Amino acid sequence: MKIYCGLLLLLTMLANPSFSSRRRRVGDGDEHFFRGKLFYHHHNSLGSTLETQASPIGDPEKVQTLWYDQTLDHFTPSDTRTWRQRYNVNDQFYKSGGPIFLMISGEGGATDIWMSNGAWITYAKELNALCFQVEHRFYGKSHPTPDLSLESLRYLSSQQALADLASFTKAMKDTFNLTSNKWVAFGGSYPGSLAAWYRLKYPHLVDVVVSTSAPLLAQLNFKDYLGAVRDSIDVTNLQCNQQIQKAVKSTQRLLRSRTGWSMIRKNFKLCDDFDGSNKKDVASLFETLAGNFQNIVQYNINNCYFEGSKTANITIKTLCDIMVPNDAKSTAFERFAKVNDLMLNAYGRNCTNFKYLKSVRDLQQTNWKSNAAFGERQWTYQTCNEFGFFQSSDLIDQPFGNLFSLKYSVRLCEDVYGKIYDQDFIENAIEWSNTFYGARDLKVSRVIFVNGSIDPWHKLGITSQNQTSSENVVIFINGTAHCANMYPDAPSDIPALKAARQQILNQLTEWLST
């Protein structure tokens, strides 16, 4: 029997009476790729740009946005402070005794669009599931503290986030008598890690997990990220990396003279005067230029799912067709600049931001209304305080040069959050994270680990059955990018992707019936 008449009424009564049910305008705001993560200013969620090429699987009008009274510090019993955590619920497919699906949000705000679309909604329809989505503390509209000062950010961690999930799950189980239902957690990217860790740390609260594109090994110098970008580009066009490398070397040669600095500013449409002797600005610029390729490689054809996305229809092939033209009328440097023009135009920007100090000042802002509050300040803090994941140019055999080193990334942590965040501090934090969670050696069962070969983040995940217990399932999809299996079916999907989604559904069906 349907429970929404009683469940949603009670949920609404428990929620903040002033909650907003307004739907966000899709594609609104500034899309920004920052160190392996895609942020959306003004709506700050990758999910909020989700678009299928068909009608939604579920009814968006059935989705409710509500608020839960969450504990501020789960690890200090004497601290009784609480805050309002945002979550979504959709029970239109639920039948009594069906499973409870929990979508975990991460470094972007939760959005109700995911509540009526995506592969997990297909599974919910098939398996008669009740769907929850919980927003991560300090992201989206879930603000546990008045600001983003360091004093406030001490409550931002994956451990606190997992405890939030545990508190929420227990409350829903107890309040709505969902204790005999099986719970399934879903997550992609960092939330994919959280999903696997949730099963690890709270196995009595969650029965099955689908962990997608999850970086499970915390690593200071994630230099293999660019190695994976290189490899994914090679799969598309064997000449493309050669032309990128040639262009980067040409750009580096221009650093030797003021005339060259002027050419760099003109060709890459820099927002400010460029001083080639300023190593931080140089590192920032070359990281930005590499980011043009990193963004597209990481998501590749997934971009077609993003309604209003500035990079829609830009794929690895698009960039390589620019870098490797049919004629030889332009230089590799000019074509490199043309790629930057394409990305500037896609983002609706007139110039390329590259000033290191400007980035530092932006990341130092502690007001919830600042641009960095849409995720960059918080996620950078988590990388400096828990995970590392610094995508440096220290790998020798990659085409993007060597000018944004590990030292540059560590220095950003120090300059934004204080000198205590030096390399020794970050290394100790990473070691603790890997010890606490187990890195790739997770002692879990009934977890489906999914990764794609094009996605650079698969380098830190579980991609082979040999890496985990036979009680888990590993799906490695050749030819897909970041979180591809989480999106709804599309006519352009390769057979391996379609097969992966079906395998996930079959495995969920089997585990939920035993």
What sign results for the dihedral spanned by CA atoms 495, 462, 35, 158? positive
- The phi and psi torsions of 178 (rounded to 5 degrees) equal -105, 25
Query: If we measure between CA atoms, which residue out of 326, 353, 320, 331 comes closest to residue 249?
Result: 331
Is residue 322 within 8 A of residue 242, CB to CB? The reply is: no
CA gap 118, 123 in Å, rounded: 9
CA gap 339, 268 in Å, rounded: 9
Is residue 392 within 8 A of residue 408, CB to CB? The reply is: yes
Is residue 359 within 8 A of residue 285, CB to CB? The reply is: no
Cα separations (Å) of 405 from 226, 282, 305, 326, 389? 12, 11, 33, 34, 13
- Determine which one of 32, 43, 136, 482 is catalytic: 482
What sign results for the dihedral spanned by CA atoms 263, 268, 274, 278? negative
- Determine which one of 45, 48, 189, 213 is catalytic: 189
Query: If we measure between CA atoms, which residue out of 112, 131, 126 comes closest to residue 513?
Result: 126
Q: Which two tokens stand for residue 124?
A: 């919910």
- Determine which one of 207, 281, 394, 455 is catalytic: 455
Q: Identify the DSSP state of 397.
A: S
Q: 455 an active-site residue?
A: yes
HEC assignment per residue over 53-115: CCCCCCCHHHCEEEEEEEECCCCCCCCCCEEEEEEEEECCCCCCCCCEEEEECCCCCCCHHHH
Cα separations (Å) of 181 from 29, 129, 178, 188, 419? 39, 10, 5, 23, 49
Q: 482 an active-site residue?
A: yes
E strand or H helix at 450: strand 447-452
CA gap 120, 474 in Å, rounded: 18
- Residues marked active site are found at 189, 455, 482
